[in-house]
Amino acid sequence: MTTGFEHPERVQFDAEGYATDTRAVRAGQERTPVGEHSDPIYPTSSFVFSSAREAAARFGGEEEGMIYSRFTNPTVHAFERRIAAMEGGERAVATSSGMAAILSLGLSLMQQGDHVVCSRSVFGSTVSLFDKYLSRAGILTTYVDPTDLADWERAIRPETKMLFLETPSNPLGEMSDIAALAEVAHKHDALLVVDNCFLTPALQKPLELGADIVMHSATKYIDGQGRCVGGVVVGREAEMEQVFGFIRTGGTCMSPFNAWVFLKGLETLPLRMRAHNDAASQLAEWLEQQPGIERVYYTGLKSHPQHELACRQQKGFGGVLSFEVKGDKAAAWRFIDATRMVSITGNLGDVKTTITHPATTTHGRMTPEDRARAGIRDNLIRFSVGLEDIEDLKKDLQLGLAAL
């Protein structure tokens, strides 16, 4: 973009050599000649050309520039550049939701006959997408224990194109060794895709550990205040160009308004993640000492079976913890209903703390047998720790404990 500035290097930021926190605040912005300090928003569906020749050159890809907001929009591109800089990827492609990100990856990078090996502890809709819809395109999925490297290896076939995982998983915090799985994937010419929704680049950088692609539901921590639905994929230019091609045609694109909200979210993401992490760490340890609690799941606890891997792979443990209360489903419901301040909702990654009963909500569509296999017990409660005062959060949890 022409800047019109006497010293463009002074107002256009080059992220090279800068830390993640700095990139969160500054990377990706291309200032217009008016010199706006904050990011502008471009709510326009199309862009105009100065001549028929120019229009033809843009559509033909011979000249760079904006065309139509399904696939080119400056606000969306600014968000893509910023998250790519934070994850350490060559390029990002924004999508209308986290699910649209996975759908777009699946349909752009695979074809009929290809195979996916997927952690069995991924977001419920991810499983539905693979089993109900990608299967219709002849792309089949095998599920494995995310923590067991040998299980991943055994599931790989000659036609395996993608390994897909979330670490730490939701809601039990099971972990996969990203570096080890990247090696496995590459030995078999497959791509390792990591859903980095729970830790974000503030606390975990899968690409640096060898993963090929990172994806996000931007709806969660990237927004951080529960306003917009969106997603993004980040990786190398070659694969991202394929994903971009799908978005351009398939229309799974992000709106400029949402991109602007996510851009603003990224600016405070590292700060928020540290605060979520600190509060969740304190509460996890506190909960572990409460008599009404059977078990706490949080990768930051020394009692977590993969705590050592968590310390090696992550820069923090995140803001989501889960715990089993002593008792059954009724006890878990009594606990939830006795709290006063925290929000009873399925969402997470918000400044407002949320409390969820996975067995009857987020994991309610699974059969009881599948749920048991996944370790989602009826007395399990998920807690996404927000930014309220920690003593107030303890007070609310104490109300729950007293109701057991």
Ligand X SMILES: *Cc1c(COP(=O)(O)O)cnc(C)c1O
Question: Which residues of this protein are in contact with ligand X, per CB under 6 A?
Answer: 97-99, 123, 125, 166, 170, 195, 197, 217, 219-220, 229, 231
Which C-beta is closer to ligand X: that of 217 or that of 281?
217
Which C-beta is closer to ligand X: that of 377 or that of 382?
382
Q: Are 213 and 196 spatial neighbours (Cβ–Cβ below 8 Å)?
A: no
Which C-beta is closer to ligand X: that of 121 or that of 339?
121
Distance of CA 95 to the CA centre of its chain: 12
Which C-beta is closer to ligand X: that of 13 or that of 164?
164
Helix, strand and coil content of the chain, in percent to the nearest 5, comes to 40, 15, 45
- Least distance from ligand X to the Cβ atom of residue 220, Å: 6
Question: What whole-number distance in Å separates Cα of residue 130 and Cα of residue 323?
Answer: 29
CA atoms within 13 A on the CB side of 100: 21
- Least distance from ligand X to the Cβ atom of residue 88, Å: 20
Which C-beta is closer to ligand X: that of 29 or that of 252?
252
Dihedral angle at the C-alpha atoms of 97, 103, 109, 115, nearest 10 degrees? 140
Question: What whole-number distance in Å separates Cα of residue 94 and Cα of residue 266?
Answer: 14
- Least distance from ligand X to the Cβ atom of residue 343, Å: 16
- Least distance from ligand X to the Cβ atom of residue 231, Å: 5
Which C-beta is closer to ligand X: that of 31 or that of 276?
276
- Least distance from ligand X to the Cβ atom of residue 384, Å: 10
Q: Are 365 and 288 spatial neighbours (Cβ–Cβ below 8 Å)?
A: no
- Walk across the sheet containing 160-166 and list its strands: 91-95, 231-235, 213-217, 191-195, 160-166, 115-119, 140-144
- The pairs formed by 50-55 with CB atoms below 8 angstroms and a separation of 24 or more are none
- Least distance from ligand X to the Cβ atom of residue 383, Å: 15
Amino acid identity, position 71:
F
Q: What is the enclosing helix (H) or strand (E) of 99?
A: helix 98-109
Q: Is the peptide bond before 168 cis (omega within 30 degrees of 0)?
A: yes
Which C-beta is closer to ligand X: that of 170 or that of 322?
170
Which C-beta is closer to ligand X: that of 40 or that of 250?
250
- Least distance from ligand X to the Cβ atom of residue 360, Å: 18
Closest residue to ligand X: CB criterion? 98
Question: What whole-number distance in Å separates Cα of residue 80 and Cα of residue 87?
Answer: 11
CB under 8 Å to 404, separation ≥6 — which residues?
Answer: 292, 325, 326, 327, 331, 334, 335
Which C-beta is closer to ligand X: that of 109 or that of 127?
127
DSSP state letter for 309: H
- Least distance from ligand X to the Cβ atom of residue 330, Å: 27
- Least distance from ligand X to the Cβ atom of residue 153, Å: 24
